[in-house]
Structure 1
């Protein structure tokens, strides 16, 4: 790895697709939306957030299928999912390049 690909905090560039829940080291491996510079700990936290996001999405679908008349409200489910999504974007913002930060700011999530 080239020295310019790492900064003083052990960070290196990653390419993130929130939609796919992917964090890529190679920008040509798949489509991505955002670029971040992160260390191993930050990437681990982001992986955990993506797992939580996927689990929340899957739980809502399973809950609705199993108990269509007794499921939590759409508003409650959406609120919990939105809160988790905001945590994902906060983590991405904290590690983001200037371009990524501007993009997230334009989304007006908080």
Structure 2
């Protein structure tokens, strides 16, 4: 399958082929199938984020003890793993320098 260049914004959860359409954090090369998979992870994280918002209104359970937060945290790890694997050298270097994937990236 043909790989295309995409620009990823983590804060917006956006994936674009247009470099100037909006701000972006990472540049990757991906197939249509890989982009679909990344979009699904973004969508799951968005849903988990809203669930966390509503649970935050019940203050008796701290974040690190709330098992529901694992879904969001794991989703974020999956996003970073995909971005690292599909990213250009600048993207990979940034992720390594920030220590975002220390347990996965050699």
Q: What is the TM-score when the length of structure 2 is the normalising length?
A: 0.83
Runs of 5+ unmatched residues, structure 1: 1-8
- After superposing on structure 2, the runs of 4+ consecutive aligned residues of structure 1 that deviate more than 6 Å are none
Correspondence 1:62 to 2:54: yes
**How many residues are paired up?**
99
Q: 1:99 aligns with which of 76, 79, 90?
A: 90
Runs of 5+ unmatched residues, structure 2: none
Contact 2:9 2:26 in 1 (8 A): yes
Equivalents in 2 of 1:62, 1:89: separation in Å? Answer: 25
1:78 CA displacement: 4.7
| SS of residue matched to 1:19 | coil
Q: What is the TM-score when the length of structure 1 is the normalising length?
A: 0.80
RMSD over aligned Cα, in angstroms? 1.6
Greater share of helix: 1
1:84 CA displacement: 1.7
Equivalents in 2 of 1:91, 1:36: separation in Å? Answer: 9
